[in-house]
């Protein structure tokens, strides 16, 4: 049996590559022959070429070369089908990550000054059909078996989809033997489309420490980046507030004994006051270890939050994923979904709301973080992850 994995392995994104490595390592430890199907369409590559520095792109490619076994590169769905046939891949796992993030045609239409009505083109991974939706498989064929693993549809607004778009999605979903989802938003979408319950399963990063043998102790990380024992990470995609807010947060953290790091996103660091800037280029494993051994993570995005939770690090998260302005549909946010179930919403801010947390609120959250509740949730999610991964093995 040969297993193929279809996910965002080539994305210039720390979390996407770490979840890929976690899944690969899980199956390898169980003795399975698994390979990543290297679907990386040119339009998706162009997106990262525009937003990620060449030096950081090299780091992500080096990570793939060192840790991720891949097929030859596939640009089209036909390329994917050819690779599956050539390598005699009998089972395909799709996910984890936002592999079902279809953007409806209606949402691509917008007002334009020049043409009154404009149209925004989207990359292949946000269209349908595409390989993430199993378009390489004929519904009548028994092989390959399709399994969805902790999939997400974070950008999919079913209410904006036409009858024909829904029909395409329904036809695609019916090819899957089994689907688990990462959040309730995706669970609800699949239920509406094919009337099936899809269990919620943790992101593979929740199993990272058990799946992956990591080189590097806390002492190694501290020595490599010249850090003190007690440091906190600030990591933002862009400036959420004015510089006064960030300066005040820095001063408060500093006065309370924290060494403050400005930790890069793959796009780089924003300009804020700090004791040390750790900018790109940066390897995904170094990024993981910096958060893992920190005394707190304050910032954006889901995967750094998961890394912190998985390693029992205090967090304060600024969420830009809430689907509608004003926080009217928080369930669409993968961050909100996790933190609500973890009972850790005291350490959360929804950026689409009008409320702005004060720097002293953020400091207080880190200083008084409920480590016991975090540990209860982490243990529960690690157990849930292993349970469902073993259930998937039974299906293979």
Residues 6+ apart with CB under 8 A from 368: none
Percent of the chain with pLDDT over 70: 95
In whole angstroms, what is the distance from residue 130 CA to residue 123 CA?
11
pLDDT in tens, 109-147: 766 666 667 677 888 999 998 999 999 998 778 789 999
In whole angstroms, what is the distance from residue 200 CA to residue 183 CA?
6
For 49-75, b where at least 16 C-beta lie within 10 A, e where not — what string? eeebbeebbebbeebbeebbebbeebe
pLDDT in tens, 7-26: 999 999 999 999 999 999 99
Q: Can you tell me the mean pLDDT for 286-304?
A: 96
Q: Can you tell me the mean pLDDT for 311-331?
A: 74
Q: Which sign does the torsion angle of CA 378, 344, 309, 60 carry?
A: positive
Biggest CA–CA distance in the chain, Å, is: 66
Task: Show the domains of the chain with their CATH numbers.
Answer: 2-212 (3.40.50), 218-380 (3.40.50.2000)
- What is the overall mean pLDDT for the chain? 92
Tell me the HSE value of 368 on the side-chain side, using a 13 A CA sphere.
8
pLDDT at 349 over 70: yes
In whole angstroms, what is the distance from residue 32 CA to residue 212 CA?
15
pLDDT score of 325 = 44
- pLDDT bucket at 327, cuts 50 / 70 / 90: very low
pTM for the whole structure: 0.93
Residue with tokens 């992500």: 60
- pLDDT bucket at 48, cuts 50 / 70 / 90: confident
């Amino acid at each position: 049996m040969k297993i193929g994995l279809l996910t965002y392995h080539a994305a210039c994104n720390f979390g996407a590559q770490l979840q890929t490595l976690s899944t690969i390592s899980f199956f390898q430890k169980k003795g399975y022959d698994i390979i990543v199907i290297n679907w990386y369409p040119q339009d998706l590559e162009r997106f990262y070429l525009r937003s990620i520095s060449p030096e950081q792109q090299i780091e992500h490619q080096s990570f793939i070369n060192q840790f991720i076994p891949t097929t030859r590169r596939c640009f089209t769905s036909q390329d994917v089908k050819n690779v599956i046939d050539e390598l005699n891949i009998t089972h395909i796992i799709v996910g984890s990550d936002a592999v079902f993030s279809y953007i409806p045609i209606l949402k691509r239409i917008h007002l334009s000054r020049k043409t009154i009505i404009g149209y925004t083109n989207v990359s292949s991974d946000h269209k349908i059909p595409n390989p993430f939706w199993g378009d390489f498989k004929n519904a009548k064929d028994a092989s390959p078996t399709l399994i969805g693993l902790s999939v997400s549809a974070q950008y999919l607004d079913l209410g904006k989809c036409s009858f024909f778009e829904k029909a395409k999605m329904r036809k695609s979903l019916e090819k899957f033997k089994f689907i688990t989802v990462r959040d309730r938003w995706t669970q609800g979408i699949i239920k509406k489309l094919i009337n099936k319950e899809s269990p919620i399963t943790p992101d593979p990063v929740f199993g990272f420490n058990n799946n992956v043998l990591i080189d590097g102790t806390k002492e190694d990380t501290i020595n490599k980046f010249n850090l003190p024992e007690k440091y906190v990470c600030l990591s933002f995609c862009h400036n959420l507030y004015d510089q006064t807010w960030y300066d005040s947060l820095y001063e408060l953290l500093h006065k309370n004994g924290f060494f403050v790091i400005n930790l890069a996103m793959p796009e780089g660091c924003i300009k804020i006051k700090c004791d040390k800037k750790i900018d790109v280029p940066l390897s995904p494993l170094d990024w993981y270890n910096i958060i893992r051994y920190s005394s707190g993570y304050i910032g954006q995005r889901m995967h750094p939050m998961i890394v912190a939770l998985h390693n029992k690090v205090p967090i304060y998260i600024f969420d830009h994923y809430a689907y509608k302005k004003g926080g009217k549909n928080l369930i669409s946010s993968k961050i909100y979904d996790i933190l609500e179930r973890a009972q850790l919403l005291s350490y959360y801010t929804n950026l689409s709301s009008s409320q702005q947390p004060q720097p002293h609120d953020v400091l207080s959250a880190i200083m008084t973080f409920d480590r016991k509740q975090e540990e209860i949730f982490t243990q529960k999610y690690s157990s849930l992850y292993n349970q469902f991964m073993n259930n998937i093995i039974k299906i293979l």
